[in-house]
Amino acid sequence: MCGLVAVVQPGRVPDRALLARMAAAIAHRGPDDEGQFVAEGIGMHHRRLSIIDIAGGHQPMSADGVVIVFNGELYNYLELRRDLQAQGHVFTTRSDTEVLLRMYLQHGPQCFSQLDGMFALVLYDARQRVCIAARDPFGIKPLYWWRGAGRIAFASEIKALLRDPAVARELDPVALEDYLGLQYVLGERTLFAGISKLQPAHYQVVDVDTLTVRNVRYWQADYADAGAGDAESAAEEVRALLDASVMRQMRSDVPVGAYLSGGLDSSLVCALAVDHAGAPFRSFTGAFREGPSFDESGHALTLARHVGAQADLLWIDEADWIEEMPRLAWQMDEPAAGPGLFPQFMVSRAAAGKVKVCLGGQGGDEIFGGYARYLIGALEQALIDAMGGREPGPGELTLGELERGLGTLGPYRSLLRRSWAQGIDAPAHLRYLRLVDRSDAAEQILSPSMRERLAHSSLPERFEQLFEQAGDCSHLKRMLHADLVSSLPALLQVEDRVSMAVSLESRVPLLGVELVEAVARLPDSVLLAGGQLKALMRRAAAPLLPSSILNRSDKMGFPVPLQRWARGASRNFVRDVLLCRRARERGIFDPAAIERLIDNEAEFGRALWGALQLELWHQTMIDPATV
């Protein structure tokens, strides 16, 4: 795991000092080594966190007219290396970076679809005078770009781009609409006007002499309905693919551990990792002392004992929150999707003192159908079909099957009332947008001018474009795909930032292309069999996990006692952030409504968190003269 910056500047040699200043902003991503390359039209700087081939993996790396800087890991690099050697390539290092470089020399940009890993890269091909930037299929590793002043700049984090004096720090008003509605930003936009994300599963080709840009999507999951399927065979296939993914992601020249919440996803990853560990394996868990609603450590310790992992438990307190939140606003670059950011950072910091790589369970909900909104959406569609006289086809979920899962929806009555009050005969994309939209809570604290603006937001139209990308498949598959390409990358941004802030590499074995493609082909009746969320994953995990973990119905999602803190010792901190002069002058929130929210928000609400994040972002990334 590393950090990179690159500048394409036709007819000029990019400024070495500027490249170094930009890279210094992300030194936390790579404290072990750094290097720089410049030539006419192109400059690169790399900061390295050494994981594989510690002595031989220095970057930038070059061969046969191609220079590369690379952030991430290739988990199938050993298999790719053998194939390349059979085709005549001679290696001078043991690094996965050289494998990636030679994959490009052999296959060109078509190599990206053959990589199993997490990656963001920039390479310069002097033979064709092009610069190519690429990002992994799920957006595990970040890559941002900006165009202006006769150049294009790339960086692993936005704060590096902001070190360039030509880059303005301005709010994108359309992105703000997204954040207020979803608590993340759709598509390639960021909250910074003019700064874009390179989309997951895409590469970008830049002509070094003309700055002509071409974007190419190199991978997309195929969610086409596959008809009837056998649940037991599917579970066996998934278990084998998961085991292979974890095995490959255990490859490292430094110690590896795992995050462990006690939920299904992290427990399954930890159990498989212990099987492949050649030494005692450590798990890392965080919890709060504010009561059982904020403490899952009992489940995590149960799993650790069951699989023989050495359990590290961290108790997190309110003082940590007050101290770290401003720093985390800087680390994140943009407001984060959910308060779990804070405990994830605290656990990452604790883990970084013991290991250099940590495996996590991110992605399980989006792949296997773990959110209650999937069950609600599937139920809506089944009702629409039944009222229209349409009989379920092979592999589709029936009303009777979905009825068995209705008990799961008890805690979501308010969401159901809000969604169904508008009718269930709306277009499919609007029905799903209602289930993910958080603007109702935001509207209660917005200023009148911002409420008016949000009322005319273009979010529904842009969300429709995203929702329809899945093609001809079931409503459930469209929901899964929408999350895979929108909310999941936002969660992965958190995963990346909280780990890299402490120079820890975070890996996510559930996000393997082969696994995602296999699950995407399975029918809905296998994914949510019996109306049970993650039914297929539970079946696959059954031989590995204790029943108390396998059958949990109280998974928490790392909740934070924010509302209690805001009415207690943190009250002054929260008020100082949200009710200061600059916050009032922005005109985004209604100060009187903010005061009411601080005193009255229900436990586990997200409006206070969203407002805090947005204002801390302004104070940290927009207001200062330098970042």
DSSP state letters, 74-101: ETTHHHHHHHHHHTT---SS--HHHHHH
Residue 184's CATH number: 3.60.20.10
Residue type at position 531: G
Domain boundary among 557, 577, 598: 557
Residue 542 covered by a domain: yes
Q: What is the CATH classification number for the domain harbouring 475? A: 3.40.50.620
Residue type, 342: F
Query: Residues 257-296: pLDDT tens digits?
Result: 999 999 999 999 999 999 999 778 999 999 999 999 899 9
User: Average pLDDT in the 45-53 region?
Assistant: 83
Statement to judge: residues 492 and 595 lie in one domain: no
Asked if the structure places residue 77 within a domain, the reply is yes
Residues 191, 227, single domain; the answer is: no
- Reduced 3-state DSSP string for 29-46: HCECEEEEEEECCEEEEE
- Cα–Cα separations (whole angstroms), residue 68 to 5, 18, 106: 11, 19, 15
Q: What does DSSP assign to residue 379?
A: H
Is residue 402 situated within a structural domain? no
Q: Is residue 251 part of a domain?
A: yes
Q: In the numeric block, which tokens belong to residue 542?
A: 């059954």
Average pLDDT along the chain: 93
Reading the block at residue 59, the tokens are 């970057």
pLDDT tens digits for range 304-363: 999 999 999 999 999 999 999 999 999 999 998 688 899 999 999 999 999 999 999 999
Identify the band that residue 552 occupies on the pLDDT scale cut at 50, 70 and 90: confident
The pLDDT score that the predictor gives to residue 441 is 82
Are 416 and 533 in a shared domain? yes
Structure tokens that stand for 104 in this block? 């490009």
Same domain as 384, residue 245: yes
- CA 289, distance to chain mean position in Å, is 28
Answer yes or no: are the C-beta atoms of 492 and 507 closer than 8 Å: no
Two structure tokens written together for 194 = 């003019």
- Which pLDDT belongs to residue 419? 84
pLDDT at 425: 85
Task: Express as a percent the part of the chain with pLDDT over 70.
Answer: 98
Q: What tokens does 86 get?
A: 């059979």
Q: How many domains does the chain have?
A: 3
Tell me how far apart the alpha carbons of residues 287 and 523 are, in angstroms, rounded to a whole number.
Answer: 37
Model confidence over 66-99: pLDDT tens digits?
999 999 999 999 999 999 999 999 999 999 999 9
- What angle (nearest 5°) sits at the alpha carbon of residue 435, between those of residues 610 and 218? 85
- Please answer whether residues 143 and 156 qualify as being in contact, where contact means their C-beta atoms are separated by less than 8 angstroms: yes
In this predicted model, what pLDDT tens digit does every residue of 128-182 receive, in sequence order?
999 999 999 999 999 999 999 999 999 999 999 999 999 999 999 999 999 999 9
Place of tokens 């005319």: 456
pLDDT-based confidence at residue 54 (cuts at 50, 70, 90): confident
Res 227: pLDDT: 61
Q: Is the pLDDT of residue 555 over 80?
A: no
- Are 340 and 560 in contact by the 8 Å Cβ rule? The answer is yes
Helix (H) and strand (E) counts in the chain: 29, 17
Alpha carbons 490 and 503: distance in angstroms, whole number: 20
User: What pLDDT band is residue 47 in, cutting at 50, 70 and 90?
Assistant: very high
DSSP state of 310: E
- Assess if residue 627 is contained within a domain: no
Q: Are residues 497 and 516 in the same domain?
A: yes
Looking at the DSSP assignment, which residues form a beta bridge with residue 195?
Answer: 146
Looking only at the bridges linking them, the beta strands covering 195-197 and 144-148 are antiparallel
Q: Rounded to the nearest 5°, which phi and psi values hold at 507?
A: -120, 150
Beta bridge partners of 144: 155, 197
User: Using an 8 Å Cβ cutoff, are 223 and 215 in contact?
Assistant: no
**How many residues can be counted in the chain?**
627
Residues 539 and 550: their CA atoms lie apart, in Å, by 9
Amino acid 413: pLDDT: 87
User: What is d(CA 143, CA 196) in angstroms, rounded to the nearest whole number?
Assistant: 9
CA distance linking residue 568 with residue 330, whole number of Å: 25
Confidence check: pLDDT of 524 > 80: yes
What is the structure's pLDDT at 442? 85
Please give the average per-residue pLDDT across 542-546, as a whole number.
96
Let me know whether 278 and 310 are in one domain.
yes
The answer to whether residues 616 and 325 touch, using CB atoms and an 8 Å cutoff, is: yes
Calculate ∠ Cα 472-476-478, nearest 5°.
45
pLDDT over threshold 80, residue 51: no
Same domain, 447 and 462: yes
Q: Which of 181, 198, 217 is the last residue of a domain?
A: 217
Please check whether residues 335 and 253 belong to one and the same domain.
Answer: yes
pLDDT of amino acid 295: 93
pLDDT at 57: 83
Question: Distance (Å, rounded) from C-alpha 328 to C-alpha 620?
Answer: 10
Joined tokens for residue 222: 């195929």
Cβ–Cβ < 8 Å for 476, 379: no
Rounded to whole angstroms, the Cα distance separating 286 from 37 reads 41
Question: Rounded distance, CA 556 to CA 514, Å?
Answer: 29
> Are 5 and 22 spatial neighbours (Cβ–Cβ below 8 Å)?
yes
Whole-prediction pTM: 0.95
The predicted structure's pLDDT at residue 234: 95
Look up residue 545 and give its two tokens. Answer: 């996990």
Which 3 state secondary structure label does DSSP give 190?
Answer: coil
In a domain, 510, yes or no: yes
Q: Among 217, 234, 249, which residue terminates a domain?
A: 217
588 and 517 housed in the same domain: no
Greatest mean pLDDT among 1-5, 339-343, 436-440, 580-584: 580-584
Preceding omega of 60 cis (within 30 degrees of 0): yes
Calculated CA dihedral for residues 464, 334, 24, 625, nearest 10 degrees: 120
50 has a pLDDT exceeding 80: no
The pLDDT confidence band at residue 226, using thresholds 50, 70 and 90, is low
Residue 322, SS3 per DSSP: helix
CA dist 67 to 31, 61, 166, 544, Å?
Answer: 21, 6, 26, 44
- Using a 10 angstrom Cβ sphere, with 0-12 exposed, 13-18 middle and 19 or more buried, the burial of residue 354 is middle
pLDDT at residue 335, rounded to an integer: 92
Token reading at 445: 């604290």
Within a 10 A sphere around the Cβ of 441, how many other Cβ atoms? 19
Taking the C-alpha atoms of residue 243 and residue 282, their distance in angstroms, rounded to an integer, is: 18
Let me know whether 320 and 468 are in one domain. Answer: yes
234-254 pLDDT, tens digit per residue, is: 999 999 999 999 999 999 888
∠ Cα 554 559 562 (to 5°) = 140
Q: Is residue 247 part of a domain?
A: yes
What letter does residue 189 receive in the DSSP assignment? B
330 and 202 in one domain?
A: no
Strand partners of residue 369: none
- Residue 460 has a pLDDT of 94
Element (H, E) at 132: strand 130-135
Mean pLDDT of 451-473: 92
Residue 172: inside a domain: yes
546 and 417 in a common domain: yes
Q: Hey, what amino acid is at 578?
A: L
CB 72 within 8 A of CB 120: yes
Cross-strand bridge partners of residue 136 = none
pLDDT band at 228 (very low <50, low <70, confident <90, very high): low
Domain holding 543, by residue range, is 220-388+409-557
